[in-house]
Structures are given as C-alpha cells and as structure tokens.
Structure 1
Amino acid sequence: MAKMRTARKLLLGREIAHMIESAGVSQAEAGSIIESSQSRIAGLISGAGTIAVGDLDLLASRLGFTDEGYKEALRELRRDNHKRGFWSTGHRRAYSEDIRLLVDLENVMDQLRSAEVEVVPGLLQTEAYARAQHADLPDDEDLSLTSDDFVQARLARQEILDKSDPPTVQFVLSESCLRRMWGDPEIMREQIEHLINLSNRKRVMIQVFPFYTPPGRRSPIGHRFTLLRVPSPGAAGPLELAYTEGEGEIRYLDDRKALTSYESAWARLTNAALRFEESRAFMKQVADEYKKMENPTP
C-alpha cells in the first residue's frame, strides 16, 4: 500500500531539500549520514516517506542546522496527525485517496486561487446545491457510503472559511458555473445569492468570467486548476502547489516550470474577468433570472 502524502510531510520534505541544498551535498551523501539510500531521501523530499526522530536530528545537525528552535520545527512537522485511520470513519470515508491530500492542504493553507468551469467549487457550495449534484449518483455499497456522506464531506471542507484566521481564497468562475443547472431554479438562485454574500467577506474574492468578453480581454479557461500556498514554520519558505483535476486523473504539481505556467494563466484570467463589483452585479442579474423562472408569468 502506497504511503499517503500529507501537508506536513510535504513541508518536511521541502525543509530536508533546503538543508541538503544549503549544505552543498548530494541526496546520496545525505542518505549516507543516516545510513540510508538516495532513493529514500528522494522519497522524503516528495512527501512519500517517513523518518525517525533520531535520524531527522542527526541529518539536520550533520548538514549544519544545529539551532534547537529550527530542529523543533522539523520535529513538529514530523508529528503527522493525519494517519491513515483518520480517514476511515464517518463522512471522511467519502474522500477518495487522491482528494485527501487536497483536504489536508486546505486545512493549513493561507492562500488558494482557483479557476473553475461548469461547477461551483466545493468550498462555495450550498447544501442544497451539493445535494442536487449528488442526487443522481448511486450510493457506494462497497464502502457503505450514502449521498449524505458525500454531501457532509463536501460541506465539512468549508469550515476553513469560518476560522478566526481564515485563508485568503480567490476564484475566477466561468459563467458556465452560474448557468449550468445542477438543481431547480430555486436551488440555483440560492446558490448564486450565497456566492454574492461570500464575496462580501474580506478574504473571499470572486470574479466572473463571462461568455462574452471584448477583444483584448479574451483568455479562455482551458481547464480548471487551483493554486495553493501553505506557510512553513521552517526556513525553506512556503509550499506552493498547483492542483489539477481531469477525467480519472488528479495531479499535484510543484515544479517551478509548471507553477510559472499556471501563475501566468491566473494573471491572464484575473485580468480578463469582471472586476469584483462587476462580478457581484453580474451574479445578481443571473439570480434574478432564476427567480423569474421560479415564478413564471402566466
């Protein structure tokens, strides 16, 4: 069974890579310090491996990182609360293996930027909208999961927006997110009104990318993607990742070339999308259209 990657493991991996680079040694040489191999060091850096406290202390000291405060930060990152058993009870079972890392990252991130098409993102969904989305899906009999479990799992992720120090989240929503009817007109109206209310929060920013954009501002959303930033208590700086989701494939990208490409795409999209006040006005217009559909004129 593959070892599950978690936010803390990824952060620890970044710190190990930072120590190795700063010391000017190879991964193989670092491995020899703890009587291990280059492949094990590579696994630790990728967030897929584990390391004993003694080996971690030894590795840090031999690489020149002797400050006790820094070493304690490393030990804290090693203390991983999200063991595999954490995901085996209640609605948490509804999170697939691939999505568990995203949920873990969301709980410790300080910034999220997301471009979305067709579907209102899970962090912004109302319960009625989420239920409508799952209404036609069969229960998972193998895991004894019901549609209610999937809905509760999605809503639980939204708790991060109500923390005392919530992350900054920014979304560019294609107009298709507002127009695609996953529920009846009342559900859709309530969902859009919920988006408008959320967009008035200090750390929630929503822009709409309308179907029609004038020349010079056209920058289509090729596919949905999310950029996440997780602060680190160590010296390596924040963890930055791009999350992409397609048919049967979820990817977490942290290489600089990929991140630069998605940063560029994000800059183009935010420039092409409606400004915040314009977006609220646009969403209000669409909500009013749904309201008229609820009560059609005889």
Structure 2
Amino acid sequence: MATVRTVRKLMLGREIEHMMKSAGKSPADLADILGTSRSRVGQLLSGQGLVSVGDLERLANQLGFSDADYHAALFALQKDNHKRGFWNTGYRRAYIHELRLRVDIEMHADRIREFEVEVVPGLLQCPDYVRAFYAGMPETEGLTLDDEVEARVARQDIFGKESPPNVHFVLSESCLRRVWCDELTMITQLEYMIALSQRENVMIQVLPFNRPVGRRTPIGNRFTLLRIPAVGVAGPLELAYTEGRGEIRYLDDVDALTAYDNAWTRLSTASLTFDETRSFLHEMIKECR
C-alpha cells in the first residue's frame, strides 16, 4: 500500500529542507548524517518518509538548529496523528487514497480558496445534494450511500472549529445550472449556500455567464489554493490542488503558485460581490420554484 502523506509529514519535510538549505547542505549530506540513502532523504523532504526522534534530533543539531523549543516543534510534527486504521474505519473509508491528503490539509489549513466550474464544491454541498450526486454512481464495495454522504458533509466540520479557516469560493454559474438533482433539492442546496455565506469565515462569489471576464481570465480549469500556517521556522506551506481525469496533483513550486494566485485574482475580481452573489442565489431559488 502506498504511503499516505499527511500535513505533519509535509510540514516536517519542509522544516528539514529549510534546515538543510540554511546550513548549505545537500540531500547527500543529510544521507551521510543519517547513515541512510538519498532516496530515503528524498522521501522525508517530500512528506512520504518516516524518521525517528533520535535521528531527527541528531540531524537538527548537526545542521546548527539546537534550540530546545524548535526541537519540540519538530518532534510534534514527527508524531503523526494518522495512525494505522485512521482512514479505514467508518465513513473515512469513503475517501479515496488520493483525496486523503486533501482532507487532512483542510483540517489544518488557515486559508482555502477554491474555483469550481461544473459542480458545487464538496465543502458547500448539503446532504441532499450529495445524495443526489452519488445516487447514480456504482457502489464501492463495503461502502453505502450513507457513508458517501457522511464523508462529504463531515469535511464541513472545519467551518465550526475553534479557529476556522478563511474559506473563499468562486463558482462559475454553470455549477448552479448543471442538473445533478431535482428542483426541490437544488432549492435546498441554494439555501444551504446562502446560510453558509453568512458565516464570517465563509465567502462565496458567483461568476455569471453574462459577466465579461477578459481573455486572460482562466474560466475553464478548476483549482484550489491551500495554506497551512507555519509551526516551525520554514514559514507556511502553500499548495495548489488540481484534479483531472485519473489524476490529482499538489503543486508547491513558486512558479505554479504564482500562476494560480494570479488566476484567482482575475477570477474573483470578475465575479459578483458577496451581496450580489446572495441576491443571485435568491433569484435562482425563485426560478426553481
């Protein structure tokens, strides 16, 4: 079974990379310090490997990072909370392997920005909409429709936690016009989105068909920008999440993040304001009735 990457592993890999670069060392140097292979070091840096507390302490000290408080932060990252079985019990079984990192990131993120073109984003879907969306799909062995619904809706628990993330959505009007369910269910979904948009930390904008967007505004490709706050000295972790047929990618290089950030600015600027969006959703409810 492939190794499940988690936020803590990603953040630890980021801290190790920061220490390595600050000390002017290379992955080969880290391999010598740890007495291991370069491939294992590569796994650590990418958030796919494991390291013992002793090896982590030795690595930090030899790279010039001996502060006890910083060591404590590293050890907290090393202690991964996704133990064996976490993803294989209850409704969590419904998360496909490639989506598990996305769910983990959502639980730790302080900012989420999502652009969607055809389907209401999972973080905004009401239970009836989820049920209608999955109703026609082949069942996965060992999973019920109720499991699928619970798994999708449970992701929204992040809205009500003690320090919720700022979550901002830009939705193409096609998300709201595409027929995935009956009119009554769509009314419920629209009302659900209006209620969520009243939360201080949830922002929703619609990009309507009749709004000029400019030729350089990328209206065809869905993406999500995610930020996890820093816990060490390497700074926050920022990722661009993209999803295509049979492929999920997490991008963290500067050029990709800059391109998607520019795309987000163009899309959000071209969209309706928050108040205009709520009025738009109310008008759609009237149409459905």
For the 8 Å contact 1:129–1:183, the answer to whether it is kept is yes
CA distance in 2, matches of 1:237, 1:116: 28
> Is 2:186 the partner of 1:212?
no
Tell me the secondary structure at the aligned position of residue 242 of structure 1.
strand
Deviations 1:35-85 (A, max 9, x none): 122222111010010001100000000000000000010000011011241
One-letter amino acid matched to 1:163 = K
Q: CA deviation at 1:215?
A: 6.4
TM-score by length of 2: 0.97
CA distance in 1, matches of 2:264, 2:143: 36
Structure 1: gaps spanning 5 or more residues:
292-298
Number of the residue aligned with 2:50: 50
Number of the residue aligned with 1:274: 272
One-letter amino acid matched to 2:168 = Q
For the 8 Å contact 1:103–1:157, the answer to whether it is kept is yes
The ranges of structure 1 where at least 4 consecutive aligned residues each deviate by more than 6 angstroms after the TM superposition are: none
Tell me the secondary structure at the aligned position of residue 106 of structure 1.
helix
Tell me the secondary structure at the aligned position of residue 240 of structure 1.
strand
RMSD: 1.3
Structure 2: gaps spanning 5 or more residues:
none
Cα gap change, 1:218/1:210 in structure 2, threshold over 3 Å: closer, same or farther?
farther
> Is 2:121 the partner of 1:121?
yes
CA distance in 1, matches of 2:151, 2:275: 31
For the 8 Å contact 1:13–1:46, the answer to whether it is kept is yes
CA distance in 2, matches of 1:114, 1:185: 25
Once the two structures are superposed, the pairs formed by residues 56-135 of structure 1 within 5 Å of their partners are 56-135=56-135
> Is 2:242 the partner of 1:240?
no
> Is 2:168 the partner of 1:186?
no
CA distance in 2, matches of 1:131, 1:216: 36
CA distance in 2, matches of 1:120, 1:199: 14
CA distance in 1, matches of 2:216, 2:16: 42
CA distance in 1, matches of 2:64, 2:212: 56
Q: CA deviation at 1:218?
A: 7.4
Cα gap change, 1:216/1:96 in structure 2, threshold over 3 Å: closer, same or farther?
closer
Number of the residue aligned with 1:296: none
Number of the residue aligned with 1:31: 31
CA distance in 2, matches of 1:275, 1:72: 44
Q: CA deviation at 1:12?
A: 0.2
Tell me the secondary structure at the aligned position of residue 85 of structure 2.
helix
Sequence identity, in percent? 58
For the 8 Å contact 1:128–1:187, the answer to whether it is kept is yes
Cα gap change, 1:217/1:10 in structure 2, threshold over 3 Å: closer, same or farther?
same
One-letter amino acid matched to 1:110 = D
Number of the residue aligned with 2:199: 201
